[in-house]
């Protein structure tokens, strides 16, 4: 059970705003059942509502090794797209790319499949292209068995290989090198309702690795295990 101020929830999401202010059962009861959502994803969303950004250390503590970090953030992008939480979607994409850049890794195939489950848009297509270029010039998985890969991802790799034949570096390095280049990253993968000179999302939503487990205090936080959760609204 999550209890959230109605104004906070509605200001972030066109989906929740329509559900709670329209002629639906949710508007009458001021509660929303989200039995098709992962509780850990909704906890991350609620934390983002209050903090105004994503905190990778808090997310890693909540996951506690139960799921790959990039898969969790990819699922968060899917959630944000489905529930029309535009700024969360931007922030989650920023965190996703920051994680790949900081850890110098490639997205897991599970995370890539999440990206391909999101309806096409200009920004999502740009994200898919970026992941394909990273795979071409930074990865070594193409020499292994790839019959379980997403077919559209493989097609995008072929397409980008033809157009990026002169490129030999890691594309993410070029996008994260200078603070001024962050505007280019924003133009590539974000969609803002309000025009800004430079997006702060990339600066705020930076991946920070969790300290080694031996240095961490015992986690006393009680985990919410039930797969069904209800959002109850507070009257403002």
Where do the structural domains in the chain lie, given as residue ranges? 35-191+198-206
Tell me the torsion sign for CA atoms 14, 18, 21, 26.
negative
Contact 38, 228 (CB under 8 A): no
CA distance 227 to 38: 7
Q: Where are the beta strands (DSSP E) in the chain?
A: 2-5, 31-33, 230-234
**In order along the chain (236 residues), what is the average pLDDT of each group of 10 residues?**
84 87 79 83 94 95 92 97 93 94 93 96 93 87 87 91 63 68 76 66 88 62 45 57
pLDDT in the model for residue 230: 58
pLDDT in the model for residue 132: 92
Residue 4 β-bridge partners: 233
User: Is the pTM value of this prediction over 0.85?
Assistant: no
């Amino acid at each position: 059970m999550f209890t959230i101020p109605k104004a906070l929830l509605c200001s972030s999401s066109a989906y929740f705003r329509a559900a709670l202010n329209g002629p639906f059962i949710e508007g009458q009861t001021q509660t929303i059942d989200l039995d098709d959502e992962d509780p850990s994803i909704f906890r991350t969303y609620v934390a983002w509502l209050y903090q105004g950004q994503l905190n990778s250390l808090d997310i890693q503590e909540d996951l506690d090794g139960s799921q790959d970090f990039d898969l969790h953030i990819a699922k968060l992008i899917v959630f944000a797209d489905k529930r029309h939480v535009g700024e969360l979607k931007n922030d989650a994409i920023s965190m996703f790319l920051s994680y790949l850049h900081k850890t110098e890794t490639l997205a897991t195939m599970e995370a890539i499949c999440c990206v391909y489950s999101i309806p096409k848009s200009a920004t999502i297509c740009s994200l898919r292209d970026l992941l394909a270029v990273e795979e071409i010039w930074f990865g070594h998985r193409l020499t292994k068995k790839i019959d379980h890969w997403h077919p559209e991802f493989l097609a995008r790799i072929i397409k980008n290989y033809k157009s990026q034949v002169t490129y030999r570096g890691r594309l993410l390095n070029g996008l994260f090198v200078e603070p001024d280049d962050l505007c280019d990253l924003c133009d590539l993968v974000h969609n803002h309702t309000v025009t800004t000179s430079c997006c702060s999302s990339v600066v705020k939503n930076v991946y920070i690795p969790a300290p080694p487990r031996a240095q961490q205090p015992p986690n006393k936080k009680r985990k919410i295990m039930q797969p069904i959760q209800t959002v109850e609204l507070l009257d403002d």
